[in-house]
Structure 1
């Protein structure tokens, strides 16, 4: 069975790191993801996806992400049932974030780190003129097929 989720969007509120009584870090956050389809004459709509992260991933989010930050999340979908304070049965659906990474500009996020690879510099790429790349020349016309 497959249960995989990949999201990219912006945090809708400032994530707050909490600790369980057992000392485990946990953070809950929400990602706003624009929908691909937009009806003519209407504003673009977004979905607001609830997420939770534990341990090092939670600490990483708390340290480097803030309200409005662009974030990429890879995880699994999980559901749970509960009874609210009025006695009504409710279902909660959220993404359990296994990996998160930056996907905004370096200036926006303040660093180029990825969860699991802390404080690694962001890779730099050649400009659109490709002047940093050598031209590949294939002079071998004697291919066996």
Structure 2
């Protein structure tokens, strides 16, 4: 049997790191992936693919990526279900990442603005 998927898309929000009870890093991210064809109105639809990143992948993604960063994920599709607070069965399909590649990030302007804001906050701390 083969269960492998490759997804390339943009992060829909800044990734956040959580830790399991034993301290293992985990991050749940969503990738926005444009479809390769147009709809009846001439626009392009987008799919939002939930992905789970574990350990070093989660830590590095939180450290180096932001909302809008382009990433490629290779992993496997996993389905699970649980009962919510109303007693209804909820089914979830997600990609469990086995590899991640950082393909693109913020624009040069956004990087410069981010670097300048970091520098000014450092100066505020260092200067009396």
TM band (smaller chain): 0.7 to 0.9
Following superposition, the deviation at residue 40 of structure 1 comes to 5.0
Give the aligned partner of residue 28 of structure 2: 28
Larger radius of gyration: 1
Would the aligned equivalents of 2:39 and 2:45 in 1 still touch at CA under 8 Å?
no
Paired positions, count: 110
Give the aligned partner of residue 140 of structure 1: none
- Asked which structure has the greater RCO (Cα within 8 Å, sep 6+), the reply is 2
Following superposition, the deviation at residue 106 of structure 1 comes to 8.6
In structure 2, relative to structure 1, the CA distance for the partners of 1:26 and 1:75 (3 Å cut) is same
TM-score by length of 2: 0.79
Following superposition, the deviation at residue 104 of structure 1 comes to 1.9
Give the aligned partner of residue 128 of structure 1: none
Q: Which structure is higher in strand share?
A: 2
> What is the 5 A alignment of 1:1-145?
1-39=1-39, 41-104=41-104
SS of the aligned residue for 1:50 comes to strand
| Structure 1 unaligned residues grouped into runs of 5+ | 111-145
| Structure 2 unaligned residues grouped into runs of 5+ | 112-128
Root-mean-square deviation (Å): 1.9
Would the aligned equivalents of 2:65 and 2:105 in 1 still touch at CA under 8 Å?
no
TM-score by length of 1: 0.70
In structure 2, relative to structure 1, the CA distance for the partners of 1:53 and 1:47 (3 Å cut) is same
Following superposition, the deviation at residue 42 of structure 1 comes to 2.7
State how far apart, in whole Å, the 1-side matches of 2:2 and 2:49 are.
19
State how far apart, in whole Å, the 2-side matches of 1:66 and 1:43 are.
26
State how far apart, in whole Å, the 2-side matches of 1:48 and 1:92 are.
13
SS of the aligned residue for 1:63 comes to helix
